[in-house]
Structure 1
Amino acid sequence: MNIKKKLHVLKRRTKFIVSPIVEYILKDRSKIRSIYTKYTERLPINDKTIMYEAYHGKNMTGNIYAIFLEAINDNRLKGFKHVWVINDKNNPHYDEISSMGNVEFVSVDDKNYLKYLATAKYLLNDTSFPYYFYKREGQYYVNTWHGTPLKTLGIDINNRSMSGHMNIQRNLLHVDLLVSPNEFTYKKLLKSHDVYELFPGKVADFGYPRVDLTLNTDKAIVLQDLNIDLQKKVVLYAPTWRGEVGKEYDTSLSLLEDVKAIQTSLGDNHVVLLKAHYFTTNFFKEQGLDHLCVPDSYDTNKLLAAVDMLITDYSSIFFDYLPTKKPIYFYMEDLNSYQNSRGLYFEIDSLPGPVSFNREELIHSLKNNNSKYIDNYEKFLDRFCYNDKGTQAKKLVETIFHGKHLEELIKTETEKERMLFYCGGFYNNGITVSAINLMDNIDYSKYEVAIIDNSNNHRDKFPNIKRLNPNVHILFRPGVFNRTIKETYWHELVMRRGVNSQFMKDKLPVRAYKRELRRLIGDATFNYGIDFGGYNKFWSLLFAFGDFNRNSIYLHNDMMEEYKKKVNGKFKHKHNLKVIFSLYDFYDKIVSVAKSTNETNKISLKTYIKSEDKMVYVNNVINAKKILEIKDNKNFINYAGKTFLITDDSQLNEKNILNLYGVNVPSDEYINFISIGRFSPEKGQEKLLNAFSDVISVYPKSRLYLVGDGPLKELLKSRIEQLNLTDHVILTGQLSNPYGLLSLCDCFVLSSEYEGQGLVLMEAMVLDKPVIGTNVTGVRSVLEGGYGHLVGNSVEELSIGMLSFVKNGLNRKKFDYDKYNKEALEMFYKHICARN
């Protein structure tokens, strides 16, 4: 070994040894995760510790506070330790709560927080615990959420990022008891976070304990606390803060003007209070008007006991106020923009009070009789407040700590068998198309299906996810892998070398992988784990060691050829596949996507797989119905004497702009060949260009459409110029709907060096197009038997096949796609689900 190589090896090994320690010392989040993980692994659960967290430790109010007040006064819980999460020890509740008994205070992410999060038997939260949290066996997680939603949640939000709800979703999968004020709330919460059928806990549709404080608190005590004259009527203005960071002044000034105008209009026998965001509270303090603001620490539900009139906009506060049967006014000056950006669950004319869109309308409503809203009010009371009797905190404490009322709990979890997939990241490739097709054909009367994916975003991802069947649940992986320093070393070694020795098998951090999957899916159980992607070593590790009845990994190609593949001089998959090959033996089924692909993989991978019986093939499903539907979604435009097929009209709706992309329509005077696929070495497009050059020399009235994109795009463009094919070859780019163009062409050509199956061949066959394909792994399985023309894998054979089509056409068997799909699904259920 020369000096340069020795230094490179030394540098790499030094980095391997030092990096985890440096990360632990310098990166706070890494240290927090490691300490928390160590506590979960080493410390026992304390059966007499209750941890309370409200609004991420920002306050000690609401549902969690109401449960605490009941629990702290329960003689049966006298020996229990009560741990409150509060980030600001100057909170006014601090002295009140600390004087009540065995109470300890921690702040989010400090060491004691991590310790109690890892060891407290009872965990109570009204929002969510941090990304690194996972519930240990023996812990009991109660989530109360924080209100009946007027505004949309999770995936129901307009213009949302699909992964924006991911930590709440993840938390819900850990919850044992979800406390709900009404049926509407728990259904909206679970469905909007895409876990209704997967939710492993139980729902307590008991009502909110915090409403007890509203119904049972003496108004006079609240007025005294806030230094308000007992004879005055209290008007509470509680808007949702919608300002922008950096523009807090403008929003706060507008709210001040609102308060002044309301106060002036109602007169001195009323006092107007503002319950607002802390930005606004600080602004009011600076103006010497902080007496108009309710302290953020003052419990909102206690406050509502003293309120005579409530003004709000989109806040759920009005649902808690409804049981008082006092007037509610809605002030929604930005309703249109709010509906467009966020969305509401209710029509505004159904609300239990008048809706005003400007200050003048609001003041008019406040000063006039609004009896016409009595019916709406009663309907809201019946639908949302049927549990509010003032005794809900007691009922919950009986349920959580003493095992009572269990027969009233509701289960939403499905009885169906469940599948969990990882589908490869949803890039524009054949794996994504195969996954989407499969999801459109699974029997959802028998199976519940979830796909889990990283939370990262890329251009292709969310458009492709939106194409999935609506029955599919989408779960995300927020946060980072929890592991100790020791586990980090072994994990990194696995990620470099794979599991190719007994020594590595003995040192494999299986507990860490099981723990990570549990962090992501909580108590949700899945019968079948399917690594449908097959190229990501981290996900292959999680699925290899997940607790499934059966796990499977897909091989979408000739995997040894993929291992060897280079793109622009660099190995594309070698480093990942080295690890993944070593994991195949930890799977129950190793699934190729075509018979010939399975035969090839059996031979090339035999040193990695002890039992050849594990290796099966399951043909990809195709979505013939969709292909036949969207092939007719074609728009044409005439320009410069030519007709173009519009392939992208994404700017069509932008005001005063028409920005179209299209390709010259295939003409009857030409023989129009088409090939669809990623511009990558295995697809053989350069070979196809060379063959097409031969075709042009014999039959110049020919065209070739290359549909796709990829790392070889520039090379192909250069080759087109070198071969003088600029007037004959059209690079269309990636098309979301290639079937319109495909339906207009005469013959489909696949020039691959190897394939998993050649799904695009069958898509062409669905459209009854003649197909020519190279006689290689994957393609052979599709075309043998007369469904197309198999040619030798060479420039010469490919050009002969294309010229033969030009001269003689192509006789082929009719493709029965319904029969094909039925057989493919039978294979899937047999091998993946072990269903006979």
Structure 2
Amino acid sequence: MSIVNIIRNIMPKMWFPFYNSFFAKLKVKENLVLFESRGALALEGNIFRIIEELQQPCYRHLKCVLSVRKQAFDDVEKKVKNYNLKNIRLVKYSSILYYKYLSTAHYLVIDTSFPGRFVKKEGQILFNTWHGSPLKKMGRDIEDCREICRMGNVLRNLVQADYLLFPSLYMEEKMAGAYMLENLYQGEVFHEGYPRNTVFFDEEKTLEMRKKLDIGQKKLFVYMPTFRGEIGNIRDVEQVNDAKDFLYELDKHLKDDQIFMVKFHPFVSKAIDFTGFEHIVDFPKDYDTYDVLSACHGLVTDFSSVFYDVAVSDKKIILYTKDEEEYKKERGLYPQDNLPFPKVTSVEELAKELNNEEIIDRSEYRKRYASFENKDATSKICRHVFLNEKCCNSVKYKGNGKDNILIYSGDLCKNGITTALLGMLNSLDLNKHNYYISFRQSIIWDYPERILKLPKECGIIPISSEMNASFLDLVAQKLFFKYGMKNIFVKKKFDSQYKREQRKHFHAMKFSQVIHYNGYERYVIAMFQRFDCPRTIWVHNDMVQEIKNKGNQNIHLLRDAYASYDRVVVVSDDIVEPTVEISNRRDNVVVLENLHDYERVLEKGQKEIIFDEPTVSNVSRQRLLEILDTNYPKFINIGRFSVEKGHFRLIDAFEDFYEDNKNAALIIIGGTGKLYDKTLEKVNESPAKDNIVLINCIDNPMPILKSCDLFILSSLYEGLGLVILEADTLNVPVVACDVNGPRGFMKKHNGTLIESSKEGIYKAMNTFVKEGIATMNVDFKGYNEKCVENFEKFMDCNW
């Protein structure tokens, strides 16, 4: 990373102390309005029209501020002067002054979203107009899992709004569905037109703009294509060349009474010399886009949603979609059936259609796609929001009457916790409640495909940003996490910062209960602790041993959390006592065994053994198949490469067994963990190295497990050890070290427990060869039914 990029990443965080201070100490100013348009990159569309409307005398009491990024400042400043906009101050985005206004403005008006560090204060009114009807898929509807991972900031900026604006039934259907607004949104939805579209109802403005453009009686067509890719990409150079070729070819077909005005992405426009064309001109920068559109005869576009806006008028609309299928595949589009606009795919067809005066009737189309558009929309919206005159048509969503339940999943990596979560979700009646799964965007960003495991019935609420931590916040954290201090300063600071974080991410979302299912991660443990609804935290392991052996949990935080959460769920009887030892509280501890998706295990066991792209192993797939095809003893362990899994003592025990059983094999499969390299070193130094297989990161280990003779759980401690259930499902005998976690399950189902030592494991290997070890043959159908019953009772209990 370059020094410039490092500075760019650091600079916004430098203002956290100021923003936190402003948030905590400064009062909201009743007459202050902060606007942000297109992520502070422009003054366009709805925001522009609202600011223009606020020039009316009845709004003189308002002080208006517009945030603008540095690279857009000059252009926005020129536009403000060109339109003679008064009472509007420009402030640089992400500056100290910006954060002051963000903390003190009574009205916050946006058309996209504020940055991830934004926290809505009590007393602030947020109005999100959004920036257009969606043609490309949005939110939960997007097929690109990475895009879904980063939808959290947009989602919270919609849900936390006091007012949303949907100009059509179509837009409301898509936005409410994609962002799960029906059951999450508590505010008011305006059924009014877009302010930017009111210009299409104003004939006087249209004539005035045609004069300013000096186009006389010529027919003006505006071309507004979408931009593909990212700046600097080779494909973008190709896009510029394609644009040039298209324009040179089209210019030959245009008539003298036609003007073809082009609004490309600035990157493309700067690369084109428009003086070389006879009928084609660049889009003027001095005027608002929609003022120019009002003056045109027709619009040409491809996949830009601008056609929804222009369609409120009777202007000609042509869809030039030469690469429609490719674009659909890349971005994903909502189905558009029976659009009343001609589609063309070549320059010749486009030129022909430009000369066709026929306008297809749009009356039926407008009922769905322009349902609420009207000439007075801007005036009504401004009076409603800023003068408290309740003159807009609006609705409030009633929801489906079911409880909203928030579940924090963690990083969804391939481990027992994720397996248990998915087993639970796949076994529950997900239509009984509205379930929402949350995770931190930052920790799942490199593995977005993990979210594909989640049931479609579940909503998704990504946590889009990390902590807004000031110096004093960090001091309080240090004193608490390291020393367990809880004096007045630490308690107040610690509590306020995590309340602020909880508000930042989940303000205005109403949940009947929240569940920290993962049970790890300081940030989320402390944040979920601050919800004002029933809170549950899951315990999947013997945390006393986790702290002792791995140091990956904080005793001070767990003691505080386990004592204050309403329910602390442990996954086996064996870890009740270690949990109580931490919290000194027993009355809130509940045992709920993990559900087991045995049908999926059976299905996966039937599949072919495949080494995936990220799979790492000390043997080839072919060698593994050869080992599995023998009749010699094959022992297996599946568990992350981590100290508590006891892999080293398992290898030591196998070395002793190997001395008299040269054809036996040991297979160890891990999905995560930091000890793979060290385990590999140990294997390479072992006399039995040719008979020990290590596999790291394999998507489906079940067919390997099914082909082995004995599963050995060598762990030093566990929560339960779901893999013993998977082994029994596949009719593979199991032995487990007699430790907390598996002990209770194994005893209950007549399983084989062994001494928790190298010697105990070695003895089990010999016992299996000489006497055999029986499978438990657990009735997992009955087991799951009981687990589901217990879980449903738990969820429905009177808190």
Q: Which residue of 2 aligns with 1:474?
A: 460
Q: Which residue of 2 aligns with 1:562?
A: 546
- More displaced, 822-831 or 210-219? 822-831
Q: Which residue of 1 aligns with 2:197?
A: 211
Query: Which of 617, 620, 623 is residue 594 of structure 2 equivalent to?
Result: 620
Query: Which of 512, 520, 528 is residue 527 of structure 1 equivalent to?
Result: 512
In the alignment, is the contact (CA less than 8 A) between 1:663 and 1:732 conserved in 2? Answer: no
Q: 1:52 to 1:432 in 2, by over 3 A?
A: same
Q: Which residue of 1 aligns with 2:585?
A: 611
Q: 1-side partners of 2:643 and 2:13: how far apart?
A: 40
| Aligned 1:212-231 pairs, distance under 5 A | 212-218=198-204, 219-229=206-216, 231=217
Query: Which of 424, 432, 452 is residue 418 of structure 2 equivalent to?
Result: 432
Q: 1:460 to 1:367 in 2, by over 3 A?
A: closer
1:136 aligns with 2:98: no
| Aligned 1:230-249 pairs, distance under 5 A | 231-242=217-228, 244-246=230-232
Query: Which of 352, 355, 363 is residue 343 of structure 2 equivalent to?
Result: 355
- More displaced, 279-288 or 778-787? 279-288
| Deviation digits for residues 407-456 of structure 1 (CA, Å, limit 9, x no counterpart) | 73141655322232333322322222222222223432332222332222
Q: 2-side partners of 1:458 and 1:132: how far apart?
A: 19
In the alignment, is the contact (CA less than 8 A) between 1:593 and 1:618 conserved in 2? Answer: yes
SS across alignment from 1:64 = helix
1:392 aligns with 2:370: no
| Deviation digits for residues 713-747 of structure 1 (CA, Å, limit 9, x no counterpart) | 34444444555324433223332112222222232
* Amino acid corresponding to residue 574 of structure 2 in structure 1: S
In the alignment, is the contact (CA less than 8 A) between 2:145 and 2:451 conserved in 1? Answer: no
Q: CA deviation at 1:81?
A: 2.5
| Deviation digits for residues 661-688 of structure 1 (CA, Å, limit 9, x no counterpart) | 9643623622333221112221122222
* Amino acid corresponding to residue 621 of structure 1 in structure 2: L
Q: 1-side partners of 2:371 and 2:631: how far apart?
A: 74
- More displaced, 116-125 or 282-291? 282-291
| Aligned 1:47-86 pairs, distance under 5 A | 47-73=30-56, 75=58, 77-86=59-68
Q: Which residue of 1 aligns with 2:433?
A: 447
In the alignment, is the contact (CA less than 8 A) between 1:64 and 1:124 conserved in 2? Answer: yes
Q: 1-side partners of 2:408 and 2:29: how far apart?
A: 36
* Amino acid corresponding to residue 633 of structure 2 in structure 1: I
Q: Which residue of 2 aligns with 1:690?
A: 652
Q: 1-side partners of 2:401 and 2:223: how far apart?
A: 46
Q: 1:412 to 1:360 in 2, by over 3 A?
A: farther
RMSD over equivalenced CA pairs, Å: 3.3
Q: 1:504 to 1:211 in 2, by over 3 A?
A: closer
1:740 aligns with 2:703: yes
Q: Which residue of 2 aligns with 1:8?
A: none
How many residue pairs get aligned? The number is 779
Q: 1:650 to 1:800 in 2, by over 3 A?
A: closer
Q: 2-side partners of 1:469 and 1:695: how far apart?
A: 44
Q: 1-side partners of 2:238 and 2:683: how far apart?
A: 59
Q: Which residue of 1 aligns with 2:3?
A: none
Q: 1-side partners of 2:367 and 2:197: how far apart?
A: 16
1:819 aligns with 2:793: no
Q: 1:342 to 1:197 in 2, by over 3 A?
A: same
Q: Which residue of 1 aligns with 2:325?
A: 336
Q: Which residue of 2 aligns with 1:573?
A: 552
1:408 aligns with 2:394: yes
Q: 1:712 to 1:440 in 2, by over 3 A?
A: same
In the alignment, is the contact (CA less than 8 A) between 1:589 and 1:831 conserved in 2? Answer: no
Q: Which residue of 1 aligns with 2:404?
A: 418
Q: CA deviation at 1:131?
A: 1.9
Q: 1:133 to 1:460 in 2, by over 3 A?
A: closer
Q: 2-side partners of 1:361 and 1:787: how far apart?
A: 77
- More displaced, 451-460 or 293-302? 451-460
* Amino acid corresponding to residue 654 of structure 2 in structure 1: F
Q: 2-side partners of 1:659 and 1:397: how far apart?
A: 67
Q: CA deviation at 1:470?
A: 1.7
Q: Which residue of 1 aligns with 2:563?
A: 585
SS across alignment from 1:419 = strand
In the alignment, is the contact (CA less than 8 A) between 2:634 and 2:665 conserved in 1? Answer: yes
Q: CA deviation at 1:299?
A: 1.8
Q: Which residue of 2 aligns with 1:187?
A: 173
Q: CA deviation at 1:396?
A: 2.1
Q: CA deviation at 1:125?
A: 0.9
Q: Structure 2-normalised TM-score?
A: 0.89
Q: CA deviation at 1:221?
A: 0.6
Give the fraction of aligned pairs with identical amino acids, expressed as a percent: 28
| Deviation digits for residues 203-241 of structure 1 (CA, Å, limit 9, x no counterpart) | 223231211112214322111122222x11111111112
List alignment gaps of at least 5 residues for structure 1.
1-22, 566-570, 635-644, 652-657
Q: Structure 1-normalised TM-score?
A: 0.85
| Deviation digits for residues 288-317 of structure 1 (CA, Å, limit 9, x no counterpart) | 889922224522222222111211111111
* Amino acid corresponding to residue 83 of structure 1 in structure 2: V
List alignment gaps of at least 5 residues for structure 2.
1-5
* Amino acid corresponding to residue 778 of structure 2 in structure 1: F
Q: Which residue of 2 aligns with 1:381?
A: 366
SS across alignment from 2:311 = helix
Q: 1-side partners of 2:420 and 2:664: how far apart?
A: 31
Q: CA deviation at 1:397?
A: 2.8
- More displaced, 309-318 or 618-627? 618-627
* Amino acid corresponding to residue 596 of structure 1 in structure 2: D
Q: CA deviation at 1:504?
A: 6.6
Q: CA deviation at 1:74?
A: 6.6
Q: 1-side partners of 2:237 and 2:607: how far apart?
A: 51
SS across alignment from 1:756 = coil
Q: Which residue of 2 aligns with 1:597?
A: 575
SS across alignment from 1:824 = helix
SS across alignment from 1:784 = helix
| Aligned 1:172-321 pairs, distance under 5 A | 172-193=158-179, 197-218=183-204, 219-229=206-216, 231-242=217-228, 244-246=230-232, 251-252=239-240, 254-284=242-272, 287=275, 292-321=281-310
Q: 1-side partners of 2:644 and 2:198: how far apart?
A: 67
| Aligned 1:708-787 pairs, distance under 5 A | 708-709=670-671, 710-787=673-750
Q: Which residue of 2 aligns with 1:638?
A: none
- More displaced, 278-287 or 508-517? 278-287
Q: Which residue of 2 aligns with 1:674?
A: 636
Q: 1-side partners of 2:137 and 2:789: how far apart?
A: 40
Q: 1-side partners of 2:136 and 2:606: how far apart?
A: 39
| Deviation digits for residues 447-483 of structure 1 (CA, Å, limit 9, x no counterpart) | 2222332222568742332211222233223334224
Q: CA deviation at 1:343?
A: 2.0
Q: 2-side partners of 1:441 and 1:319: how far apart?
A: 43
In the alignment, is the contact (CA less than 8 A) between 2:169 and 2:371 conserved in 1? Answer: no
Q: 2-side partners of 1:500 and 1:534: how far apart?
A: 22
SS across alignment from 2:222 = strand
Q: CA deviation at 1:253?
A: 5.3
In the alignment, is the contact (CA less than 8 A) between 2:481 and 2:557 conserved in 1? Answer: yes
Q: 2-side partners of 1:444 and 1:677: how far apart?
A: 29
| Deviation digits for residues 135-182 of structure 1 (CA, Å, limit 9, x no counterpart) | 112211111111112222345445452333332123123212110121
Q: 1:280 to 1:485 in 2, by over 3 A?
A: same
